[in-house]
Structure 1
């Protein structure tokens, strides 16, 4: 299943590109020239989340932003199970297809584990890491695990599929007046039907089910990537990945880390503070 939605070129002024992965057709943008940066989104977003950052960096970097299968403009394969490990496998195929070398990977939300899992398997080709409100270790807080259990229940799964709950309540509910109505519609209209939202419905379960992958990343990220230059850009008002818990864990994993605190930003940092993130990346990876 493909999505018919066509982004407004004034909001998403990029050429769509496609990659036929082993699991389905992946949409991505590949803008600009220079050192490559790979942008990885989480749930319930897509590459649209990075539009301001890509536009701000493509004059000096090659900016690649991918839509995970089941998200954005990518295919919704019936046979794909939409788990984090499988998303990472597909991302790795794209990295190899594009022959990326000396690349920076940025991950947000589930894009952190997806991007880092692919990066640890290609550590010799990674230049650096950017993390924005994400984790790469098992998610233990009771509130997060309770959210996982509740959102995985039958009634809430029906609301995710039938009412687009994750987009309407958790994304647009947080961003409020930060987005124009047209921008909000770009998040809504790429998930237009129950069938198209199957990938969204899996994500809450992965908070608990992805533990084997997160256990591996907790070991492999410091061991294989911990010596790489790293940057954390953190929304300090995030109640999902709280800075007081997450930033010290990231500091412990990376020997060469810069932290940029974004005091007015919540979870979706790219919407709150794109200019600050552009500047931070340009400073860290000149």
Structure 2
């Protein structure tokens, strides 16, 4: 599936570090040197989603990622009121833990896009300094987000039951629909994705995590206003055939964001960083190189 070697999940887990966030044990990873680059994963998986890009990005930047609260190897407290705003607090706490003082570049996917949008608002408010923001497939606008069936069921009154019944088989069925037809996950990858979801009894909190969908609607105007007003350079790199947030989401982005910088990956679905990581890497590095060239021109002019 990939021309990049990636990192086996067992090795990834061994490289993880821990810190405390509001009494919860969180797992995080960092590598490389240079400008800080914060990678923010999506629902329902974890930071391992970035494993193909991790080493290549660490050649150029200080890469930082954590499994957010309720995900992967981090704590998954039962009865917790999970919130995208709290996950943004977590990202800022992680940067503080690492004593990151420089402006932060962000690369986000899916649920992580919403966390990045909140960080963009906080940048506009002077609460964090972002240097750039790149979004992969995600629900940037509630009006273009087409959730899969299991997400709708998790939001329903039977959500707790649906979560408890969620299985590797159901994950495989959902992923088959949202990955590209030629870039389907292997059985081994599905095993690993499921391992991340299942750890710490993750299915028991999925109906609580899914509250991000109505939260997105509540925050939509704040987030879109910030995206329209910001001077932070942004790019969208999007798998075009994703039924959740593919080409139709990019069309809406172009309507709402002036001088929109967008890249559509034909034939690629909802997980471009695992379906076509070499393409994502190339388009991400091109974006960063353009920023660096612009900064050099500003210095010289």
Under TM normalisation by the shorter chain, which class is it?
0.7 to 0.9
**8 Å contact 1:228–1:256 — kept in the other structure?**
no
Equivalence map 1:227-266=2 (5 Å): 227-244=231-248, 246-251=249-254, 254-255=257-258, 257-266=260-269
Query: Alignment length, in residue pairs?
Result: 275
The CA deviation at 1:233 is 0.6
Q: Distance in 1 between matches of 2:9 and 2:101?
A: 27
The 3 A distance-change label for structure 1 pair 118 and 92 is farther
Alignment match, 2:226: 220
Quick check: 203-212 or 174-183, which moved more? 174-183
Q: Distance in 2 between matches of 1:219 and 1:284?
A: 23
**8 Å contact 1:44–1:171 — kept in the other structure?**
no
Alignment match, 1:113: 114
The CA deviation at 1:141 is 5.4
Instruction: State the structure with more CA Rg.
Output: 2
What SS is found at the alignment partner of 1:122?
helix
Q: Distance in 1 between matches of 2:63 and 2:252?
A: 28
Equivalence map 1:46-85=2 (5 Å): 46-78=46-78, 80-85=80-85
The CA deviation at 1:170 is 1.9
Alignment match, 1:3: none
Aligned alpha-carbon RMSD (Å): 2.9
Give TM-score scaled by structure 1 length: 0.83
What SS is found at the alignment partner of 1:140?
helix
**8 Å contact 1:34–1:61 — kept in the other structure?**
yes
Q: Distance in 2 between matches of 1:248 and 1:76?
A: 36
What SS is found at the alignment partner of 1:127?
strand
Q: Which runs of 5+ in 2 are unaligned?
A: 1-7, 290-301
Give TM-score scaled by structure 2 length: 0.80
Runs of 4+ in 1 over 6 A off after TM superposition: none
**8 Å contact 2:153–2:162 — kept in the other structure?**
no
Equivalence map 1:1-286=2 (5 Å): 7-9=9-11, 12=12, 15-78=15-78, 80-98=80-98, 99-123=100-124, 125-137=129-141, 139-140=142-143, 144=147, 149-155=152-158, 157-164=160-167, 167-171=171-175, 174-175=178-179, 178-192=184-198, 195-223=201-229, 225=230, 227-244=231-248, 246-251=249-254, 254-255=257-258, 257-286=260-289
1:215-268: CA deviation from partner (whole Å, max 9, x where unpaired): 321222322x3x222221110001111323x22443355556432211011111
Q: Distance in 1 between matches of 2:270 and 2:20?
A: 31
**8 Å contact 1:148–1:208 — kept in the other structure?**
no
Q: Which runs of 5+ in 1 are unaligned?
A: 1-5
